[in-house]
Structure 1
Amino acid sequence: MDSESVTGGSKQIQTRNYIKLGYHHLITHFLKLLFVSLMVILLTNVSLLRLNQLWLHLQLQFNQIGFIFLITVTLFGSIVFFMSRPRSVYLLDYSCYLPPSDLKVSYQKFMNNSRLIEHFTESSLEFQRKILIRSGLGEETYLPESIHCIPPRPTMAAAREEAEQVIFGALDNLFENTKINPREIGVLVVNCSLFNPTPSLSAMIVNKYKLRGNVKSFNLGGMGCSAGVIAIDLAGDMLQILRNTFALVVSTENITQNWYFGNNKAMLIPNCLFRVGGSAILLSNKPMDRKRSKYKLVHTVRTHKGSDEKAFNCVYQEQDEALKTGVSLSKDLMAIAGEALKTNITTLGPLVLPISEQILFFATFVARRFFNAKKKKPYIPDFKLAFDHFCIHAGGRAVIDELEKSLKLSPKHVEASRMTLHRFGNTSSSSIWYELAYTEAKGRVRKGNRVWQIAFGSGFKCNSAVWVALRDIKPSVNNPWEHCIHRYPVNVGL
C-alpha cells in the first residue's frame, strides 16, 4: 500500500469524524438554535404597542378571583413539585486503603510461597505462573499477612484481622479528611462477598466507632465484585427516605479464608487475581453539603441476569473433589459479561446519551427490525460523548480489553483501570474507587465532568453508577496513589 492511499484513507476517516461531530453539535443545540431564531422573529415583528395591547386584553379577561385562583394553583403546584422531587445525593469524600509495604507480593515471592504449599501439583504451579504473567498485575500488589505465612494461616481470627485492618484503615482516613463525627451517620452499608462473620462487619464498625443506636445498618454478602455499586444504590435510596443525614458505604473483600489450596484450574484463577483492598465512601443528602462535596450522584442502573442458568453458574463458590473450597470461573464468563453489559447500557443509554446518539441508535434499530437490514451491524452508541472518565472494574486484563473493544474506547479511557489492576490487583468491589483515585491523582477531573463506574459480579450482575463533578477535584490526603503516581502510566505489555 503506497503512502498516498494511506494518506487518503486517514483524510476520509478525519472527514467522517468531523461530519459526525458537526451532526452531534447541531442536534444537541437544535432547541437552543430554534429558540433563538423564534425570539429574533418575535422581537422583529411584535412592537411595544402590541405588547401593551396584549397586556390590557389580559387584564380584561382575568378578573381578580381568577387571578387569585391562578396564583394559588401555581403556589400549590410548586410546593408539591419541590416536596416530591428526589433529594440530591452528594459524595463528600472517599478513602481507599493502602496496605503496608511488607504485605507486597512480587511474582517471585508468590511462586516461591506457592511451591512451599504441599497441596499444589507441578501442573497447578505452572498454571498459576502463566496466569500471573498474563494477568496484568504488577510486582507491588498486596496479600494479607495470613497468606504470607508458611504454611498459610486461614483462621477466623486471621480473617477478622484482615477485615479490621482494611476497613478501619480506610475509615480512619475518611473521618480524618472529612472531620465528620461518626455519631452523625444515619445509614451504614457494608459489602463483602465471601466473608460474613457473626457479629457482622457492619456491627464491627458500629462497635469500633460507637455509631448511634438508631443507625440503619446493612450487611451485603455473596453479591460479588459489583456489590460496591449496589451498596451505593441502597445508600442513595435510604437518603431519599431519611432527612439531613450521612450515609457511609464500605466496600471490601476478604482473602484470608478464601485462598484456594486445591488443583482445579478454574478455581486457581482467583488466587492469581484477587488482592487486598477496600474503600469507604461518605454520602450526604444535606443541601448545605453541596459546596464541600466532590460529586453528585446522577444515576445508578442495575442489571441482573440470574434467571439464566449459565449466567447464574459462571462465578460459583463450591468444593472440588478433595472437598477444598474455592470460587470457580466459567469459560463462558466473558460472553455472559458482554450480554449483561448490553442490557445495562440499553437502560443507561437513554439517561445519559445526547439526543444525536439516541437518534442514530433508534434509526439503526428500525432499519434492522422493519426494513430487513439484518446485515447491518447494530449501532453502538458513542459513550465518549456522555462521559469524561471511565472506571471499569479491574477484574482482569480480559475484562478491560473486552469493554475497551465493545465501547470503542481509547487506551486513555481505560488507563485508570489498567493501572489499578497493575498496582493493586483485583480488589473486588473497591476497584472502581482506586480507579477514580488514580484519575484524581492525575489532576484530570474538572467541574462538570461525568464519571461512569461500571462493575460485574456473580449472579450474574452488571451495575453502573454515574457521578458529576461539582468542582475541579484535587486528590484527598493519603490518596493511595500519592507516593507512586509519578511512575504511572506504565507499559503493561499489551
Structure 2
Amino acid sequence: MADSQVQIRQQNPDQTVPFSAEPRSQDSNIPSKHKLPNFLLSVKLKYVKLGYHYLISNAMYLLLVPLLGISSAHLSTLTARDVAQLSDQLSFNLVTVVLCSTLMVFLITLYFMTRPRKVYLVDFACYKPDPARICTHKTFMERSELTNAFTKENLTFQRRILERSGLGQQTYVPDAVLRVPPNQCMAEARAEAEAIMFGAVDQLLAKTGVRAKDIGILVVNCSLFNPTPSLSSMIVNHYKLRGNVTSYNLGGMGCSAGVISIDLAKQLLQVQSNSYALVVSIENFTLNWYFGNDRSMLVSNCLFRMGGAAILLSNWPSDHRRSKYQLIHTVRTHKGSDDKSYGCVLQREDEKKKIGVSLSKDLMAVAGEAMRTNITTLGPLVLPMSEQLLFFMTTVARKVFKMKIRPYIPDFKLAFEHFCIHVGGRAVLDEIEKNLELTDWHMEPSRMTLYRFGNTSSSSLWYELAYLEAKGRIRKGDRTWQIAFGSGFKCNSAVWRALRTVNPAKERNPWMDEIHEFSVHLPKAVSIGSIAK
C-alpha cells in the first residue's frame, strides 16, 4: 500500500474547479460558493410538515394496533363468570352480536388490507472488475497524454483534480478507455454493460439460491447508456426470465437512481404479492468519457469509475428469516422545477461538439438545498421523539414567532448506527460530515469506497454497505441510512434495519480479500484525523 499514499497539494485551486475538487476549508466562517451550505440552519416548515404527512399516511394502520391491543388486554381480564354473563346477554340480543361481529371483522380486514407489505433485502452483490481494468494515477495521466486530446494546461488541471479527489491507485476504468487509442463504440459499451450486470447478477443468484425464473420484478438503472433493446431486456434475454416479468429501465436519473430503483421496486412489491424484485444499478463510461478541454466536463473523468451492484428484494413472509435487511423508509426529493437545480449537472456538447457531463459551480449550493429538504422530510420518520420535539419547537419559535434563538440541530446519530453517503467527491463528504456532526468512524465507509473504487455513480451506496459488512459492523437491529444525490437535481434516502448480525467470515464481497489492508494502512487522502477501527 506504500505506493497508494496520495500527497495532497495545499495551494488554492483553480477558480474553474467544481465542488468535488475542493480541499477542506480551514476556516468554516469564510463563505465559499463551492462549500455545502449549512442546510440544517435554514429549515423550511413546509418540509417538516411534509415529513409528518409521510409519517401519518404511511402509518395509519398502526392506529389499529393499540385498539386491538387494548381490546385483547381487556378480554384477558374477564373471568369465566363474566364470559357466562356476557354470553347470556348476547344470546337475547341478536343485533348486538351481529354489530360487534361485523365491527371486529371490519377492523381486522382493514388492518390487513391497509398494512404495507414488508420488503426484505435478501442479499446484494457488488461487481469487482478484472485487475486488468485497474487505473492508477500514473496510468490515467499517461493514457490522457497519449490521446493528444488535452492541452498541457488541462493535463495539469486533471492531475491536480486527481491528487485532491480522494481516489486511490486501484480504481477501475473500462478497457475501451484504457486502450491507445481509445475505442469508443457501441460494441464496447455493450461489452462493459454486460460484464458489470451479468457479473453482479451471477454473484447474487449464487449467494441467494434464487432461480432466475422466480424473479417477478426487474428494475435496471443506468444514466448515460440507454441502448435498444434496453439493458433490462439484455438481462431478460441472458437469464431467460419469465414472459410476464414486470421490467423497467431507468435512464438519465443520475447518481441517486439506485435509491429511486429501490423505491420503485418497493412500490411494485406492495401490489404484487409473494414476489422477488431484482434491482441492478450500473453506469457506463465507454461512450461517455470526455475527450475535450472544457474544464467543467473534465472533472467527471477524474472522479467516475467502473462498477455496479445487483440487489434482491422480496415480500415473501418466509424470507424474513434469511434476509439481511428490511426496508423501513424511502424518501425522494426532486428540485427539477428550479432552473438552477435542473442545469447544475448537464450532459451537453462543448464548443467542438464533443459530448460530456458538465458540473456547474452552483452544484454545492443546489446539493445543499436538496439535502436540506430531504433530511427535513426524513427527520419525523426516524428521529427519536425527544429530538423531534426540540427541533420542532425551536423551528416554530424562529420561523413563526421570529424569536432570536439558536437553531437546534437534530442528532441523526441517535436515529442511525451507520451512514452510507454517496461518494460525489471528497469535498462533499467533508461538508456533510461537518453539517451532520458525524465522526470519522461514521464517514469511513464513504471515504474508503471513494478511495478504493472511486465514484461508481448509483452503485456506490452498495460498495459502502459491503464495506460495513466486511468490517463486521452490522449487528441485528442496526439502522443504516443510504443517501444519494444526482442530476435533476434529486436527493433520495433509504433506511434499512438489519434483521440479523452479518458474519464477515461468511460474506463474499469486493472488500473481503483486502479489508485488513485498509484497516492498517489508512491513506491520508481519505480522511482527516484517525479513524476508529
Shorter-chain TM-score range: 0.7 to 0.9
Identity %: 61
1:166 equivalenced with 2:203 (yes/no): no
Whether the 8 Å contact between 2:224 and 2:251 is mirrored in structure 1 is yes
Deviation at 1:275, TM superposition (A): 0.3
Deviation of 1:381 after TM superposition, in Å, equals 1.1
> Once the two structures are superposed, what CA deviation does each residue of 1:400-448 show, in whole Å capped at 9, x if it has no partner?
1121111111111110000000000000000000000000000111111
Query: What is the SS of the residue equivalent to 1:459?
Result: coil
What corresponds to 2:471 in structure 1? 442
Q: Which residue of 2 aligns with 1:188?
A: 218
Partner of 2:412: 383
**Normalization by structure 1: what TM-score?**
0.87
In the alignment, which residue of structure 2 is the partner of 1:415?
444
Q: CA deviation at 1:77?
A: 1.3
Cα distance between partner residues in 1 of 2:514 and 2:449: 12
Contact 1:177–1:477 (Cα < 8 Å) also in 2: no
The residue correspondences of 1:63-74 to structure 2 (distance < 5 A) are 64-65=93-94, 66-74=96-104
| TM-superposed deviation, 1:61 | 7.2
Please show how residues 180-259 of structure 1 align to structure 2 within 5 Å. 180-259=210-289
Structure 1 SS opposite 2:358? strand
d(CA) in 1 for partners of 2:80, 2:511:
65
Q: CA deviation at 1:70?
A: 1.6
Which consecutive unaligned segments of at least 5 residues does structure 2 have? Answer: 1-65, 67-76, 529-533
Contact in 2 for aligned 1:239/1:285 (Cα 8 Å): yes
Q: What is the deviation of 1:85? A: 1.2
Residues 1:107 and 2:151 aligned together? no
Letter in 2 for 1:326: G
Q: Which amino acid aligns with 2:491?
A: C
| Partner SS state of residue 123, structure 2 | strand
Task: State the shift of 1:354 in Å.
Answer: 0.7
Could you tell me which of 441, 445, 456 is aligned with 2:485?
Answer: 456
Query: 1:222: Cα distance to partner?
Result: 0.2
Is there any run of 5+ residues in structure 1 with no aligned partner, and where? 1-34, 36-47
Alpha-carbon deviations, 1:4-50, whole Å to 9, x = none?
xxxxxxxxxxxxxxxxxxxxxxxxxxxxxxx9xxxxxxxxxxxx9x9
Aligned residue type for 1:221: G
Amino acid at match of 1:248: L
Question: Could you tell me which residue of structure 2 aligns to residue 154 of structure 1?
Answer: 184
Does residue 373 of structure 2 align to residue 346 of structure 1?
A: no
Give the residue type in structure 2 aligned to 1:323. Answer: K
What residue in structure 2 maps to residue 481 of structure 1? Answer: 511
1:388, distance to aligned residue in structure 2 (A): 0.7
Counterparts of 1:3-402 in structure 2, within 5 Å, are 64-65=93-94, 66-374=96-404, 376-402=405-431
Hey, what's the Cα distance between the residues in 1 that align with 2:480 and 2:473?
A: 11
- Answering whether residue 523 of structure 2 is matched by residue 491 of structure 1, we say yes
Cα deviations across residues 341-367 of structure 1 (Å, max 9, x unaligned)? Answer: 110011111111110011001111122
- Distance in 2, matches of 1:55 and 1:157, equals 77
Distance 1:330 1:350 in 2: 32
Larger CA Rg, structure 1 vs 2:
1
Q: Residues of 2 paired with 1:396 and 1:331: CA distance?
A: 14
In structure 2, the partner of 1:31 is none
Per the alignment, residue 30 of structure 1 pairs with none
Aligned counterparts of 1:60 and 1:402: Cα–Cα separation in 2: 71
Deviation at 1:257, TM superposition (A): 0.6
Distance in 2, Cα, partners of 1:202 & 1:474: 32
Deviation at 1:56, TM superposition (A): 9.2
Return the alpha-carbon distance in structure 2 between the equivalents of residues 353 and 339 of structure 1: 20
Using the alignment, how far apart are the partners of 2:391 and 2:510 within structure 1?
40
After superposition, what is the alpha-carbon deviation per residue over 1:370-395, rounded to whole angstroms, capped at 9, x for unaligned? Answer: 43224x34322111111111000011
How far the C-alpha of 1:73 sits from its partner, in A, is: 1.6
How far apart, in 2, do the equivalents of 1:377 and 1:299 lie?
Answer: 30
| 2:122–2:323 CA contact under 8 A, matched in 1 | yes
CA distance in 2, matches of 1:69, 1:306: 52
Query: What is the RMSD computed on CA atoms of the aligned residues?
Result: 2.0
What is the CA–CA distance in structure 2 between the aligned matches of 1:445 and 1:235, rounded to whole Å? 24
Matched residues in 2 for 1:196 and 1:56: separation?
Answer: 71
SS in 1 for 2:220: strand
- The Cα offsets for residues 165-208 of structure 1, whole Å up to 9 and x where unpaired, read as 11110011101111111011100000000000111000000000
SS of equivalent to 1:434: helix
Q: Aligned AA for 1:447?
A: K
Quick one: distance in 2 between partners of 1:243 and 1:362?
A: 38
Of 427, 436, 442, which residue of structure 1 is paired with 2:456?
A: 427
- Aligned with 1:394: secondary structure? coil
Equivalent residue, structure 2, for 1:41: none
State how far apart, in whole Å, the 1-side matches of 2:207 and 2:352 are: 48
Give the 3 Å change call, closer, same or farther, for CA 53–296 of structure 1 in structure 2.
Answer: same
Shift of 1:54: 8.5
3-state SS of paired residue (1:488): helix
Q: Which residue of 2 aligns with 1:45?
A: none
Larger RCO, structures 1/2 (Cα 8 Å, 6+ apart): 2
**1:92-139, CA deviations, whole angstroms, 9 ceiling, x for partnerless residues?**
000000011111111111111111111100011000000000000000
2:216/2:244 contact within 8 Å kept: yes
Give the whole-Å Cα distance in 2 for the aligned partners of 1:219 and 1:52. 62
SS in structure 2 at match of 1:219:
strand
1:204-230: per-residue Cα shift (whole Å, max 9, x none)? Answer: 000000001110100000000000000
Instruction: Report how many aligned residue pairs link the two structures.
Output: 447
Mapped partners of 1:144, 1:424: distance in 2: 13
Q: Is the 8 A contact 2:470 2:507 kept in 1?
A: no
1:467 aligns with 2:499: no
SS in 1 for 2:121: strand
The 3-state SS of whatever aligns with 1:187 is strand
Cα offset, 1:59, TM superposition: 7.5
Worse-superposed segment, 482-491 or 135-144: 482-491
User: Contact 1:189/1:248 (CA < 8 Å) preserved in 2?
Assistant: yes
Q: Secondary structure at the match of 1:258?
A: coil
Counterparts of 1:51 and 1:430, CA distance in 2:
59
